Structure 1
């Protein structure tokens, strides 16, 4: 069953590692790429080849691999404290990180988990438990957007509207409702992105008017539904959703797991709408792509609903590595880099350079709905075969570029540290890989 691989690390991986989000049989023809080290935006294979990490290793890496500031913080923390349980104990990194996140968001209570799906489950459980503690246990259902993605654990799958991930586990999942997405690509003739947002918000209003009594929370990926082929929407939707949730007494949960920490041009995406949600889910870039950590931030009002003499009214949820000191210290170092590098302003200049370099790709005759928000780019490729993503990925790798289209949507979400060479590699390699993929299709 092993792929024919000259790289022994790849062969050993196929023999013993079950890779995520992968049909393992495909690796018989295309073995996994063995990576020996990484530096900045580059990954270096054990065969000596290098690859530009243009998707930030699944959207987690912000300031490049092996950043010296984060490495130094981790080395210092390892000398002090590697881990201690957070039940009945505390430590400086988790306190300082919670204070910093509270100052950035206005939500001053942080609960920690290990990854994005864990953050989703924490937020959903916390919302439903809040209503129970308020004497309204019937408010235990959830609503999300069509095409939404919030993780693949059983609880997170309930609000993930993607059949490929969910159908096999349908008997285990308590499905949430879905309302139309404000995806700007759905504009009718003469409609603007804001018009689409208002139309989607009207559908949300109609749904909440009927179902608010049993609804605990609405969960939204603000501004970009990343796994839904980078579906982007106008901030107006978030403004209207916030008002509707307030009116109908439904929590607003913003899933900033992929879009937080500068990805959309602001520190957090929901801030572009000028709103304050009831819950914020964070992960991925939280530690700069070094260690697994997630956080759920919430309000004084939610926290107060659990503060009681009765144990059962507390939030009895835990992970063994909750608030791990090393991960929290990496997160603090990452936030420090935003200040030291003036990252949000620097990213605006970098994005303009990438825009200019990618102009030939954006103007390609097969490209539709070219779009960018902050440091996220996407191009829909028209009239492609169903296996476009897999074939494009291989063509990009052949050109020293890590890109993994979602369906027929090519996207890039690079680290914030691309120099001119890396920008050229991204733009020229992405275009060349597209041409080669389309030529391959035409010859088939």
Structure 2
């Protein structure tokens, strides 16, 4: 056994003895030989044995420009030479002011203020606190309920879990959660409302909820265009506009959770812009720093912000590392790269290439649905294509496909519904994108062929 392999085994053992991994089956992980990723090169991850893996999940959706991008490295180092951290409690720093202004200029019209945080869950919970506080200061404290779409995932802290609607999480943590309401998700493949003739009946179910509960609702939360974590559920054009119109009609705030869909993922800079919707509160993150530092933002309209003016009012929310200068500096450099690389246009062109490649999956046995919005896509596998019956969960079809992809040199992830989720870095070239699709197609065909008949 050479020294390099010995070091890999040492790190694996140390990890399995001490590290508790998120959303990872405990015994399966302890009995596995996990990868030890030591560095990145462009759109590739490299492990401690020197093996290279195409990062087809963008390291959980955060990698935009590729790993070890020189401009981002330099921005981080330059800021570290000045100051690593200073608080935003009652003061500011140059990067925070500049980044807030840049984000407002990029955001949908009407967004005017920015509060910095570190995680998506925190951004959503802060949005909830903003919405509730807004109504308290407006003299309607009874508006303390929230409504979200079926299948929604908005984070995994207690408040964010409360407004999430993923069954596996909702059921397990139910005793800890506050009561919320939901309306139908835009899941065309499994929709029982429109019967393959979509008229946005899923969005219209929001009206039924607000008709019953509207006087008590603070805000409606929605993931614009794509429900990311629940399996890349793609809404039809106009869905968000319909939801926004209903929310406005009943006088409730609209919170757009763009943590998984912002920064060019669905085509425009922000997904709301495709439907011409300006939310009251906008949550952004993941790709904000290009995957370098944890940084998110909860952004709000001037109307929401102005409710906190006068009589000593304030938003009772904020974190120690809100607006950390290192994270802000690399976020500014990331936005510079969007302009330098014309990345929005590049991503839109690559989405066309991805669509071509996804067509090849439609004829593969047990592929029930292929869906895409920009550079977010999914392949859903089912036991019976005609009835759309899912595979038994214990068969783990999607997991087997992701494991085979790893053997073939690619990291990609799956959703609980035997769905492979495709989240390539925006900077990916056409050749790299086609390589990604080829590996996934091979792995899918091989696993499907191995299934019991």
CA contact (8 A) 2:361 2:370 kept: no
Q: Corresponding residue for 2:411?
A: 402
Q: Corresponding residue for 2:118?
A: 114
Question: For the residues of structure 1 that align with 2:171 and 2:9, how far apart are their CA atoms?
Answer: 35
Question: For the residues of structure 1 that align with 2:211 and 2:260, how far apart are their CA atoms?
Answer: 30
Question: For the residues of structure 2 that align with 1:226 and 1:193, how far apart are their CA atoms?
Answer: 24
Q: Which of 32, 41, 50 lines up with 2:43 in the alignment?
A: 41
CA contact (8 A) 2:358 2:370 kept: no
Q: Offset at 1:400?
A: 0.4
Counterpart secondary structure, 1:108: strand
Q: Which of 435, 441, 447 lines up with 1:425 in the alignment?
A: 435
- 1:333-384: CA deviations, max 9, x gaps? 1111111111111112222233334442243232222121110121111214
Question: For the residues of structure 1 that align with 2:193 and 2:164, how far apart are their CA atoms?
Answer: 29
Question: For the residues of structure 2 that align with 1:52 and 1:123, how far apart are their CA atoms?
Answer: 35
Q: Corresponding residue for 2:285?
A: 283
Task: Please say which of residues 247-256 and 434-443 is displaced more in the overlay.
Answer: 434-443
Gaps of 5+ in 2: 1-5, 384-390
Question: For the residues of structure 2 that align with 1:145 and 1:359, how far apart are their CA atoms?
Answer: 29
Question: For the residues of structure 2 that align with 1:230 and 1:16, how far apart are their CA atoms?
Answer: 33
Change (3 A) 1:324 1:5: closer
Q: Offset at 1:207?
A: 1.4
Q: Corresponding residue for 1:391?
A: 400
Q: Offset at 1:32?
A: 2.0
Q: Which of 271, 275, 279 lines up with 1:269 in the alignment?
A: 271
Q: Which of 220, 225, 228 lines up with 2:227 in the alignment?
A: 225
Aligned pair 1:99/2:101, yes or no? yes
Change (3 A) 1:28 1:441: farther
Q: Offset at 1:132?
A: 0.5
- 1:115-172: CA deviations, max 9, x gaps? 0000000000110011001110000000000000000000101101123223332222
Q: Corresponding residue for 1:329?
A: 329
Gaps of 5+ in 1: none
TM superposition score normalised by structure 1: 0.94
Question: For the residues of structure 2 that align with 1:363 and 1:341, how far apart are their CA atoms?
Answer: 36
Count of matched residue pairs: 436
CA contact (8 A) 2:232 2:371 kept: no
Q: Which of 82, 85, 92 lines up with 2:84 in the alignment?
A: 82
Change (3 A) 1:191 1:172: closer
Question: For the residues of structure 2 that align with 1:381 and 1:85, how far apart are their CA atoms?
Answer: 48
TM superposition score normalised by structure 2: 0.92
Q: Offset at 1:110?
A: 0.4
Q: Corresponding residue for 1:434?
A: 444
Counterpart secondary structure, 1:333: helix
Question: For the residues of structure 2 that align with 1:420 and 1:251, how far apart are their CA atoms?
Answer: 41
